[in-house]
Amino acid sequence: MSSRVRVTAMVTGRVQGVGFRYSTMHQARMLGLTGEAANQLDGSVQVIAEGDRESVDSLLEWLQSRDAPGRVKHVDATFTQATGEFSGFWVD
């Protein structure tokens, strides 16, 4: 079994007011991830997700795909060790 990782991704583009956070929550839950998606004051969305590396990578791929709502311009992702602080995946 692979070890759990955490990704913190800042997603920029047209990602607020288009259902982006809720679609991200749905995708993350389907992948068995925990974490949150939260709007930021600068118009970006911060996505924090924890789980196995393969599932986290799948979420990152989805965030940058045409399947994600809105128009993603850039995803800046940072990987760290999972903390286990989340019990599910939620929209903040």
Q: Which residues participate in catalysis according to the annotation? A: 21, 39
Token pair recorded at residue 35 = 């974490």
Please tell me the distance from the alpha carbon of residue 81 to that of residue 68, in angstroms, as a whole number.
26
Please tell me the distance from the alpha carbon of residue 67 to that of residue 70, in angstroms, as a whole number.
9
